[in-house]
Structure 1
Amino acid sequence: MNGEKRLAVRRVMPRNIGRAVVLALAALPFAYFAGIAAFAEIARHINPVMVAKLVPSDPMASAMAAWRRIETDATGQSSVALREIASRGLRQQAVNNPALHLLMIASGLENRPVAAATFARLSEKLTRHDLTTQLWLIDESVRRDDHHAALLHYDRALKTTVSVQPALFQVLLKAISDPQIRAAMVPLIQNDSRWVVSFLLESSSSDPTAEDTARLLLAASPRLSARTNEMIAPQLLTRLTKLGKFDLAFRYAQTLKGARAEMGRNAGFDSTTIDPRFGALSWVPAQDARVGASFETRGSVSQARVFASANSKGIALHRVLHLTPGVYGMTERRKVEMADPASQAHWEMRCGGGAEAPIVWRIRTTPRAYRVLNAVGLVVPTDCLYQTLDLVVDSGEGQQGLEFVVEELRFLR
């Protein structure tokens, strides 16, 4: 096996971590089996030690009691004793998952990984919904340098119980930086398992993993479910634009339902450019009670209602554009509802994103009703492939405040 593949497997899970997790986890679920007396069937899961004493013929209680002792103190268990208990249970009842667990642990304590894996696979044939077995098989897959198998068992473990998600997510969050791991995860993401959205929400909310999350989702499209995309997209696209990963953000946005190829070149207000699913690639009103905006739509026509309370100023609207470098004419139509004589509103464009990005264009206007038709003045530099456009407002020093409606906004070359 080449070094790159071996490194990919190590990123799925460092060797022997799975075994340590298995021995440390407490209160693991056990399968119920038919054909046992009603008392033993119920009580063995509550107090298997008591059942082992009161119902000596119960074929599973002794194994489960031993397993509970392992949960309490894994290091103090004798592999010989565990194997004896397991063998006795299997002689009484062949379909006995707790006994297979004991044989698996006993083999591990004896440093016999192949035998432990054999018992784990036998246990999996009884049920795939057993966390102990799946964690052990993750470790066994890593030992064989098989990251595809390891991820398959991750999927089954994560489907089994929600409580294990925080621990396993931390490993996967580190692993998705590896292209091989991302490629192997694509089928799991496409299957839309119950844990997928939770994982993607976590991975898309963090700067170190947002870019890898976008690459994973791009690889999973177009078979990625619309539900998953819609839940992840706003957070992920906003995070990507803050990181300056504009090209990746626009490429991922094109996988969303309703996306338009020209959305980055359309500065106006329509069903796409005011859709919150597109994050900062669409118009984003300020989250401020004193300065902000809202959108009004009638039929296919949308417009932005902008406001600023008395003695307030700031950015009311924000948007990332993808205008081709060159000279543009600006068309804008604005209607004023209320304005202090000293109030102002102006557009400001920066190259890239962030407050430190250079301003490449600014137009100052008074917020009175007016229409500007194809006014020349905006020049997008050749090295400025992505732009941030802000509407900056200042209500003035009076008590009237500011409110106006941007009915139309276009940039044309």
Structure 2
Amino acid sequence: MEVGLMTNRRRSRGGSSKQSTLSQIRQNFSAVNLDRRWLVAAPAALVLAGLAGFNSFVHVSKSAGACPVLHPAFCATQALQAPVIADFGRDNVLNDKGQAMRLARAAINLVPLNPAAVRNIALASGGSTDPRNAQPIRLLRLSHKLSRRDGVTESLLIDDAAKRADMAAALEHFDALLRSMPVASARYMEHMGLALADPKFRKGMIPYANRDNPWFGRLGGAILSNTPPIRFYGQFLSEVPSLPDTVQQRLHYDQVVSRLAQEGEYAIVRKLYPRLPGADRAAVTSMALPSAKQTPYRPVTWWLQSDGAIGAELSRTGKAEMVAYAEAGTSGTVASKLLFLAPGQYRLGWKATNDNGEESPSDGSRDARRDKSRDGLSWLIDCPGLQRREIGAAPAERPGSQNRELAVTFTVPAGCTVQNVALQTRVDSSGSSSQWTVSDISVRPVAAAKP
């Protein structure tokens, strides 16, 4: 409304005044072009937009009490604002509010529906920092109605919404900013990953987790590319009723599950995995090898590893078999899988064939199973959440057992909520390269004996 009244007043001055105004616009046109930080979103404006958003997160957090994220860069708003103030005040033109107002008004006379000019009038009239001055916020909201593509406007409205603890409005303006300024959104998203620690923020983010949102995929990529833990992001994904499903998103979810497991966030893995597109819910308690159509979400599904000298892969014959191989002088884990079994006794069964036609030197005795220096193929079962406590071990091949079912019994103790089953190979440096085929892998509870 203010802009409309201002424009009408200027038009009522008559033709000579209008001619004078146009002359002034032409004279200042080069200044307008040079001073793009006021009329378009450019370097200083991008910095302002990015860091103003960090401040909004803190306002949202403080609305519920202390900042919930123990991260200095997230909670120390003054440290974040200082470089913005210094950078934004380097140019004397930017400090001259009168000249800024004149340029903005001239721009509106030239193009009345100019959101950047309306935003600049708001900044020149006091910005959004003075709660007693409502005019800047009204102008910023008008700029937002004219266009959702002005990053500075959106960042200032984010800050205003956060001060009012209006989570929905803050996220609406975040959505507009991230859609229109993808280049400036990377640092935003790193801190959004931390803001997801707030359950209210996670709940507010759920409507934006859809395949039509152009920045949702970038958010996950930005969070994964940084070093902070991703447990908050994992919690958020586990709370989304229907996750976006594309080929790229499935690859991303695989990376998320793997990263969560590496960081020891097994409870989140257990909650998230069944909700992932294409997930086989039986995999959490099954050792079956994956089918060609199964989406791999490692290590809940089989994680096959290879470095050229040692590794494992699914059989290329189309059969449900796994081929493990190792060159002389190598050892290590070639395949692994997580299980989420309840406490109790279980039986791991399998079939193994030495494709070289050789039999393992192991005699299958208890002492041989405990001998970690033996050559050949072996199983190791432990509890990652109990400092890798070993609960089962056995050679995967035994004399005279070519293609016969083998088994080992193990007990899951209380407190062992997740189990890691690893297939390992070892070939002495004096030996020769070896290859094995493993099939019919299964796990089932051992029935308790009747009294």
Q: Which amino acid aligns with 2:124?
A: A
Aligned to 1:331: 349
Rounded to whole Å, the distance in 1 between the matches of 2:139 and 2:114 is 12
Rounded to whole Å, the distance in 2 between the matches of 1:110 and 1:388 is 54
Map of 1:23-102 to 2, 5 A cutoff? 56=24, 61=29, 64-65=32-33, 67-68=35-36, 74=89, 76=92, 77-102=95-120
Q: Which amino acid aligns with 1:211?
A: R
Per-residue deviation, residues 361-387 of structure 1 (Å, max 9, x unmatched): 101244665245474532222332211
Q: Indicate whether 1:187 and 2:155 are aligned.
A: no
Total equivalences in the alignment: 359
Aligned to 1:138: 158
Q: Which amino acid aligns with 1:68?
A: R
Aligned to 1:247: 267
Per-residue deviation, residues 37-73 of structure 1 (Å, max 9, x unmatched): xxxxxxxxxxxxxxx9997556994783484365586
Q: Indicate whether 1:361 and 2:392 are aligned.
A: yes
Unaligned ranges ≥5, structure 2: 1-19, 39-43, 45-86, 362-374, 446-451
Aligned to 2:429: 397
Give the one of 326, 330, 345 matched to 2:377: 345
Per-residue deviation, residues 229-255 of structure 1 (Å, max 9, x unmatched): 403211111122223322321221111
Per-residue deviation, residues 327-385 of structure 1 (Å, max 9, x unmatched): 2233211122125976311101001269x411111012446652454745322223322
Whether contact under 8 Å (1:63, 1:102) holds in the other structure is: no
TM-fit CA distance, 1:176: 0.9
The percent identity for this pair of structures is: 20
Aligned to 1:290: 309
TM-fit CA distance, 1:316: 1.1
TM-fit CA distance, 1:100: 1.1
Give the one of 381, 384, 390 matched to 2:416: 384
Q: Which amino acid aligns with 1:280?
A: P
Whether contact under 8 Å (1:395, 1:402) holds in the other structure is: yes
Whether contact under 8 Å (1:332, 1:371) holds in the other structure is: no
Aligned to 1:26: none
TM, length-normalised to structure 2: 0.71
Structure 1 residues 328 and 91, CA, compared in 2 at 3 Å: closer, same or farther? closer
3-state DSSP class of the match of 1:400?
Answer: coil
Whether contact under 8 Å (2:278, 2:295) holds in the other structure is: no
Q: Indicate whether 1:315 and 2:347 are aligned.
A: no
3-state DSSP class of the match of 2:155?
Answer: helix
Rounded to whole Å, the distance in 1 between the matches of 2:153 and 2:128 is 18
Whether contact under 8 Å (1:207, 1:243) holds in the other structure is: no
CA RMSD of aligned residues (A): 3.2
Rounded to whole Å, the distance in 1 between the matches of 2:354 and 2:26 is 83
TM-fit CA distance, 1:203: 2.2
Structure 1 residues 55 and 235, CA, compared in 2 at 3 Å: closer, same or farther? farther
3-state DSSP class of the match of 1:349?
Answer: strand
Q: Which amino acid aligns with 2:395?
A: R
Give the one of 188, 191, 195 matched to 1:171: 191
3-state DSSP class of the match of 1:232?
Answer: helix
Range 302-311 or range 170-179, more displaced? 170-179
Q: Which amino acid aligns with 1:99?
A: A
Per-residue deviation, residues 267-313 of structure 1 (Å, max 9, x unmatched): 121328x95631111111223221100102656x4210000011111
Rounded to whole Å, the distance in 1 between the matches of 2:326 and 2:349 is 23
Aligned to 2:286: 266
Rounded to whole Å, the distance in 2 between the matches of 1:242 and 1:126 is 47
Rounded to whole Å, the distance in 1 between the matches of 2:111 and 2:152 is 20
TM-fit CA distance, 1:157: 0.7
TM-fit CA distance, 1:80: 2.4
Aligned to 2:217: 197
Whether contact under 8 Å (1:59, 1:90) holds in the other structure is: no
Rounded to whole Å, the distance in 2 between the matches of 1:407 and 1:110 is 67
Structure 1 residues 358 and 116, CA, compared in 2 at 3 Å: closer, same or farther? same
Aligned to 2:402: 370
Give the one of 312, 320, 323 matched to 1:305: 323
Q: Indicate whether 1:230 and 2:262 are aligned.
A: no
Rounded to whole Å, the distance in 1 between the matches of 2:343 and 2:151 is 56
Structure 1 residues 357 and 111, CA, compared in 2 at 3 Å: closer, same or farther? closer
Rounded to whole Å, the distance in 2 between the matches of 1:382 and 1:371 is 34
Rounded to whole Å, the distance in 2 between the matches of 1:400 and 1:55 is 89
Q: Indicate whether 1:152 and 2:120 are aligned.
A: no
Structure 1 residues 399 and 153, CA, compared in 2 at 3 Å: closer, same or farther? same
Please identify runs of 4+ aligned residues in structure 1 that moved more than 6 A: 52-55
Structure 1 residues 215 and 250, CA, compared in 2 at 3 Å: closer, same or farther? same
Whether contact under 8 Å (1:217, 1:224) holds in the other structure is: no
Rounded to whole Å, the distance in 1 between the matches of 2:173 and 2:342 is 47
Structure 1 residues 332 and 98, CA, compared in 2 at 3 Å: closer, same or farther? closer
Rounded to whole Å, the distance in 1 between the matches of 2:172 and 2:215 is 13
Aligned to 1:29: none
Q: Which amino acid aligns with 1:390?
A: A
Unaligned ranges ≥5, structure 1: 1-51
Per-residue deviation, residues 310-332 of structure 1 (Å, max 9, x unmatched): 11111111111122332223321
Structure 1 residues 73 and 315, CA, compared in 2 at 3 Å: closer, same or farther? closer
Rounded to whole Å, the distance in 2 between the matches of 1:271 and 1:282 is 11
TM-fit CA distance, 1:193: 1.6
Aligned to 2:71: none
TM, length-normalised to structure 1: 0.77
